[in-house]
Structure 1
Amino acid sequence: MSALRQTSPQQPAPRAGSKTMSIGVVLNRLREEFPDVTVSKIRFLESEGLITPQRTASGYRRFTDDDVDRLRYILVTQRDNYLPLKVIREQLESMDSGQVTALVSVSSGEPIVSPGTLRPSAATRLSDLDVADQARAEVDTVDELIKAGLITPDPAGFFTSDDVRTVTTALALMEFGLDIRHLKTIRTGAARQAALVGQVTGPVARSGKSGAPQQAEELGRQLTALVASLHTSVMKAELRGQLGQ
């Protein structure tokens, strides 16, 4: 059992007469939206108890449409909110028990996940013009953020919904008087924190053990959440000191 394993949520039983599909069909349905999803990733999520596909007498996995929706929810939540499996597990348990209270962002106080919504997220292969349009930013501003390293296109030249969020956040900070130079300082600090997390996750990813990449990815999410929480606490303490409180 993985060290990351928690108590399994009680996934609802499949509806009577539900059609099933192989893991290969599941991959084909998910890869347009999640090109990096693999058989190993799905097996890892199963080993962690987040999904429970049916098994044939020969031991082959068979998935229903509900299983695919559940997988999509997990993958969207991991990708768009970078949440660790422990938090996603709590969301799934709420969904399975009929509770649909949205998870609330610590930083903004706004819902960042709606458990009752399992529809696919927006496209993630975006041009710089798409990013500017979705973030309601000037193209020149997006270009400046690219040059500053705040957002970076993939090898094919595309961006993701995360980049749109970064641009939106950068615009909000700029409204308070921060400029590209200040944003580059924030980026440098984030890069150092990422390198710190990488010192822990790197050896796990390179261990060669079964499921190592998925375990390293999940460990990275857990560490990122802890680092972000500590960073917020330290900033609050520093601000209180500056304000003489």
Structure 2
Amino acid sequence: MLETPSGGAGPGTAAGDGAPPGGSLSIGAVLRLLREEFPEVTVSKIRFLEAEGLVEPERSPTGNRRFAPGDVERLSYVLRMQRDHYLPLKVIREHLDALGRGGTPRSVPAPSREPAEPEVTAPAPTVRIARGELLAVAGVGEEELAVWEAYGLITASDQGTYDLAGAAVAQLLAGLGKHGIEPRQLRAMKTAADRQAELVERLVAPLRRDRDPRTRARAESTAQELVGLSVRLHAALVQSALRPRGD
């Protein structure tokens, strides 16, 4: 069953206290409503989601977009699935179609509510997102993405697409950038991550070479456990370094 994070409206529910029960809204009014839960959303993002067919607002006689409350609910749902689950628009569209038919979309994992112990899951290897979609998910432009790629912080496939882990990295880089942290300042973190990945690979390589399928399957779960422990250790080390020495 699809789990929607608490505090937000899913499709087919009330959009929130700021939305009128009837009538239509301008794109500016929709932006103000959405920013209560999604502070980083922009008019460009709303227009992109419209262009992708995730929402279809009506047009006034003068050509202005007019959004119904249901459109705001759909936008909230899309943004929530991107933020909490890093789902590509193709998958989100399938969820919305299933809900529109009265069906049940395939489940997604609930987002972690324990920031001190983040849950790390392997990205689905068959799910890829296009460059434009990555830009929309991260809320950045071509210039920022080009700089990230130049510093090796994010890498596209030979086909120019990105996996779900890349989408997560892009969102985190965008968040750090808003606090003035530049890509060049993150090169040491990228180097440390690469070395940690090499260490994990060396530890699980013997399991992956085993003939027993169960042992090879255990290699993947072991790798994910090691990644999770590494992430938690990094967070703990940073928190420890920031603690006043007198504590």
TM-score by structure 1 length? 0.49
TM-score by structure 2 length? 0.49
